Structure 1
Amino acid sequence: MTAEMIPDGERVVGVRFHPVGKIYHFDPGPYDLQVGDWVIVETPRGKQLGRVVSLGMPRSGRIEGPLRPVERPATNRDLAIRKYWERKEIEALVVARDHARQLGLAIKIVKVEISFDGKHISFLYHTEEKVDLEPLRERLAAIYRGRQVELRLIGPRDVAKIIGGMGACGLETRCCALFLTEFSPISIKMAKEQGLSLNPEDITGMCGRLRCCLIYEYEQYVRAKQELPKKGKAVMTPYGEGVVVEVLPLKEAALVRVGDQIHEVPKEQLQPLEELKALQQKAEQPCNNGENCTCGRRGGGNGENPG
């Protein structure tokens, strides 16, 4: 789905269908909607009940796909209907899991979503293997006649988000279930850049993938490291010449060995020795302008001071 620009002055509302879900944008039309209002909207998966969580354009100034209209504000009866479908979703989950087990399918059915109008039913599942789901699809289509049945593959992070529970770090609620609305790409490089242990137990989340939190301070580490001398670099400090033994990006400082002592030195007091010596050599070179010197150095091209 491509991002589209919205003309200036266009009214837009952001709607969520799940408490910590992605925000989708709609045209409020003639309705004066406020944050917290419930609305009925048309989506590719049928009519849905959602909640307004923002007013106006997103910061990017772009939205995904065409701007669909809000069909109408939701009523108390609509909220009761949504509760009814939530109970039916649990029943359908039990049914689907039972049939998957009967068929011997190596899949984990995690959640069922039924559209507000009941015409669309999605079975969210996860598997690490290639599985023929046609027998299961046929059974479910026979049970839920007249509805559009979808079997939707989700990733391990989505599974962890749906199930919830404690995080690998001990946080009472996992980040993905608490506030993450989208998943960012995570790489082992992020752990290396922050000097973290590369032991899988230390950097793997409950989903079995690299922890989402590895990205939280990654950019800050990268920026800070660019302004600090690298480990092993010779530097001048208030304590004398030394060698960097550890970089402390978040403190914007470095640990420097000077003689047999180690000092924590802020970046403002760190001078790369190569750079310092180059400046000293330049300062010691005689000026070629002789008596017309304006740079503060004296001397002729032959290096002798004028008499």
Structure 2
Amino acid sequence: MGCSSCSTGKDGQPKGCKNNGTCGTDGCNKLTVFDWLSNMSLPGGVEPFNCVEIRFKNGRKDFFKNSEKLTLSIGDVVAVEASPGHDVGIVTLTGELVRVQMKKKKVAIDSPEVLKIYRKATQRDIDIWQEARNKEDKMKVRAREIAIRLNLHMKISDIEFQGDGSKATFYYTAEERVDFRQLIKEFAVEFSTRIEMRQIGFRQEAARLGGIGSCGRELCCSTWLTDFRSVNTSAARYQQLSLNPQKLAGQCGKLKCCLNYELDTYLDALKDFPKTEIKLFTKKGTAVCQKTDIFQGFLWYAYEGDWMNWHKLTPEQANKIIKANTARESVNSLEEYEVLIEKEDTSKSDFNNVVGQDSLTRFDSPKSTNKKRRKNKRRKQNPSKNE
């Protein structure tokens, strides 16, 4: 659902919320869902599923019962049951896909966690909700100042007001257990509202706040990724990535979730490769694996003592030598199995001129002509010196 801040302003200029990495008004590209069953009608006599998925600030989503049988569609603003009072959220999914999501997240339909929808939000509900949301940034700054003054080792990352403005939830991260009893007292006096403290992990913090990753796109955890699987350094080793924490860590300080995306493909490709720690025994000497290229399907071995000369083998050839060593059969040398490397002709270029026949500097004025013009002007101005 698009929000009003993305529309055009005066003279057709784009407004924009100026919030780099995520939508500042909480309406664009935040865990959006494509309802691929929307163009299909239900069979005769089947009632539509009475539960709806609703999103609140950032990526917080919950399931609610549509007990009043309201006609809801994706993007509607509704008032839902909360404790205490009511909350305001945006409908993100309706119909049979909600049943699938509830089954996936193991949420029972008759669970007490599934609250009910009161009504479609009125203009008064939306005004109170927006007024409470506008207080959050100033409250966050003041809350951090109070936490620093009390010398608490915690970081208040986000504040979320309830739709009716009766309660504020403070999300914080901390490496150790924090005694925030005095902090809650000062918050209640300072902000004059009901306070709830909720600790989240560093990955959840990055998902709530959003941002731009090193790939140039919005963070996966804040746009579409909902399940956080553990990421190990072995995933980087299987993909032959350098173990540089500055490159492998995301904005949350943990290993990037995208290291798991292609891991299964690498593991399938490595099934045919022998283990790199296995040595090859030949009459010429013992060979040790130096390099593995998963994409081309080659391995490079070098004899012990002759580390400069590498021999290129395929996984099938390396496994054949390992099988011969296991059967205690003699292998003369790696040269018998080595793959011949065709020398590339560097004189021929494989690239194409995408610009065409024109040069990239065709619009630049040649410097030599300017120098000649200047010299001619000087000669005309001072003819006596030239003589």
Q: Tell whether the 8 Å contact from 1:232 to 1:245 is kept in structure 2 after alignment.
A: no
Deviations 1:137-159 (A, max 9, x none): 111123344x4311222222233
> Alignment partner for residue 155 of structure 1, among 201, 204, 211?
201
Deviations 1:156-204 (A, max 9, x none): 223333443332x252533333433342222222222222222222212
Distance 1:234 1:9, change over 3 A: farther
How many percent of aligned residue pairs carry the same amino acid? 30
Which structure has the larger Rg over C-alpha atoms?
2
> Alignment partner for residue 259 of structure 2, among 201, 214, 229?
214
Match of 2:71 in 1: 32
Matched, 1:190 2:235: yes
| Structure-2 separation of matches of 1:43 and 1:185 | 32
SS of residue matched to 1:58: helix
Alignment-mate amino acid for residue 202 of structure 1: K
Query: TM-score scaled by structure 1?
Result: 0.68
SS of residue matched to 2:100: coil
Distance 1:134 1:46, change over 3 A: same
| Structure-2 separation of matches of 1:175 and 1:106 | 28
Unpaired segments of 5 or more residues in structure 2?
A: 1-46, 281-286, 303-308, 325-387
Match of 2:365 in 1: none
Q: CA deviation at 1:215?
A: 1.7
> Alignment partner for residue 164 of structure 1, among 210, 224, 249?
210
Matches within 5 A, 1:58-77: 58=100, 61-62=103-104, 63-64=106-107, 66=111, 67-77=114-124
Q: CA deviation at 1:33?
A: 1.5
Match of 1:204 in 2: 249
SS of residue matched to 1:64: coil
CA RMSD of aligned residues (A): 3.6
| Structure-1 separation of matches of 2:53 and 2:225 | 16
Match of 1:41 in 2: 80
| Structure-2 separation of matches of 1:223 and 1:12 | 40
Q: CA deviation at 1:252?
A: 8.2
- Count how many residue pairs are aligned between Structure 1 and Structure 2: 259
Q: Tell whether the 8 Å contact from 2:85 to 2:164 is kept in structure 1 after alignment.
A: yes
> Alignment partner for residue 12 of structure 1, among 51, 55, 66?
51
Unpaired segments of 5 or more residues in structure 1?
A: 1-7, 236-241, 278-307
Q: CA deviation at 1:89?
A: 1.8
| Structure-2 separation of matches of 1:53 and 1:194 | 37
| Structure-1 separation of matches of 2:233 and 2:62 | 31
Matched, 1:50 2:89: yes
Alignment-mate amino acid for residue 107 of structure 2: E
Higher strand share: 1
> Alignment partner for residue 129 of structure 2, among 58, 71, 82?
82
Q: Tell whether the 8 Å contact from 1:244 to 1:254 is kept in structure 2 after alignment.
A: no
Match of 1:262 in 2: 312
Distance 1:223 1:77, change over 3 A: farther
Distance 1:23 1:223, change over 3 A: farther
Match of 1:281 in 2: none
Distance 1:42 1:32, change over 3 A: same
| Structure-2 separation of matches of 1:81 and 1:124 | 22
SS of residue matched to 2:160: strand
Matches within 5 A, 1:64-143: 64=107, 66=111, 67-143=114-190
Alignment-mate amino acid for residue 254 of structure 2: R
